[in-house]
Amino acid sequence: MEKRILGKTGLEVGILGLGGANHNRVSPEELMYIIDRAEEVGANCLDLYWNCEELIAKTLQGRRDKFVLMSKIEISPGQVDNLPEEKRDATVQIEESLRRLSTDYIDVCQLHYVTGDTAFDNLRVPEGTIDKMLKAQKEGKVRFLGITSHHPTVLARAIKTGYFATLMVPFNVVRRQFGQDASLGLFELAQRLNVGVVIMKPIAYGRMYSNIPRALQFIWAHPVTVAIPGATSLAQWNLDISAAQQFSAMTAEERKRCRDEAWLLQSNYCTGCGYCLPCPAEMNLPELMRMERYTEVFGLTEWLSEERVGKLFVDMSRCENCGICEERCPKDLPIRESLKNCLNILQKRR
């Protein structure tokens, strides 16, 4: 498996890591198999949550140094509320992680789920959370600091402070096309600042089950360090590993192609040329066709934002006896048939 350097940590990690959300959803025996396989292939980056650290510690006995452990400091209300009052302090959380992991150091301690600029500013107050993380770093309990957020703009501001060696952000085919796109500026900035880029939600909460290899290879074709899908079974983990090994064997030209829509969508698809417009029923045909293809290829049925759903509609009552769009289409696509599928997709989403 290809290895990449995790930013200014200087640590070498496989392009595939193991996400932490599912560690406590598998049996201890299955988790041991998954970690054994991870060590075997060099998928050495382990994402952790406080509620799974003891489970992971049992699988790492005698091989702690084989893995890069990335723990988290919980600071958002939804997460902190799960902790007893006396355990919400950053220093206490770090000590608790060290105890649960049966280790004397954490490779990357991440400030987890920073929701906005105000939240970040609150963490920077004197003797606040970031100061406590920096103190732990000076004491050797934490080697490097990281930060996670769903908001690329927050992360861009945060890594400019110089505190953080890594960032973690959601990125996948759907987010690239229809959501906040971390590749628009954040990846380039991270490269310039030598900050490692860890990708969470690489298969959109598991929704891209129809084509996991393409979903992952699309991500690795971007300037990121490691993608960390979760795994609920060894069989699922082996699929991810196979995708990483296939990508590792690709030429530069083949990797570049992994970012192209034609490669992602595999077959004859709407290029968005707009020749089908205007539609007499005022439907946004190119956007609907594109939605249908992404849904079909990647198995997605609920990925549209409410804002997007509100803008898209299908009106078949004015469509059946029309066909103007199909006459105009240079690729002779069966647009009306696709619109029926689109109607089903939108109805499921709503």
Q: Where are the domains of the chain?
A: 3-257, 285-349
- CA dist., res. 243 & res. 306, Å (int): 32
Lowest mean pLDDT among 45-54, 66-75, 172-181: 172-181
Does residue 150 or residue 177 have the better pLDDT? 150
- CA dist., res. 324 & res. 278, Å (int): 9
pLDDT of residue 310: 65
User: What are 175's two structure tokens?
Assistant: 């987010």
**Quick one: average pLDDT of 334-345?**
90
Please tell me the total number of residues recorded for the chain in this structure: 350
pLDDT of residue 261: 66
Average pLDDT, the chain: 89
**Quick one: average pLDDT of 185-195?**
96
The helix/strand count (H/E) of the chain reads as: 17, 9
- CA dist., res. 279 & res. 300, Å (int): 26
Domain 3-257 CATH superfamily: NADP-dependent oxidoreductase domain (3.20.20.100)
Residue 314 has pLDDT above 70, yes or no: yes
- Percentage of the chain beyond pLDDT 90 is 64
**Quick one: average pLDDT of 151-169?**
96
Which residues have C-beta within 8 Å of that of residue 328, sequence separation ≥ 6? 275, 276
Lowest mean pLDDT among 137-146, 331-340, 341-350: 341-350
**Quick one: average pLDDT of 69-96?**
86
pLDDT of residue 217: 94
**Quick one: average pLDDT of 241-256?**
95
Does residue 305 or residue 244 have the better pLDDT? 244
* Residue 197 binned pLDDT confidence (cut-offs 50, 70, 90): very high
* Residue 285 binned pLDDT confidence (cut-offs 50, 70, 90): very high
pLDDT of residue 308: 56
* Residue 294 binned pLDDT confidence (cut-offs 50, 70, 90): confident
pLDDT of residue 297: 67
* Residue 86 binned pLDDT confidence (cut-offs 50, 70, 90): confident
pLDDT of residue 281: 93
Pairing mode of beta strands 3-5, 12-14: antiparallel
Residue 305 has pLDDT above 60, yes or no: no
pTM score, whole prediction: 0.81
Question: In angstroms, how far is CA 306 from the centroid of its own chain?
Answer: 20
pLDDT of residue 196: 99
User: What are 180's two structure tokens?
Assistant: 């906040």
**Quick one: average pLDDT of 121-130?**
94
pLDDT of residue 215: 87
Mind spelling out the 3-state secondary structure of 74-113? ECCHHHHCCCCHHHCCHHHHHHHHHHHHCCCCEEEEEEEC
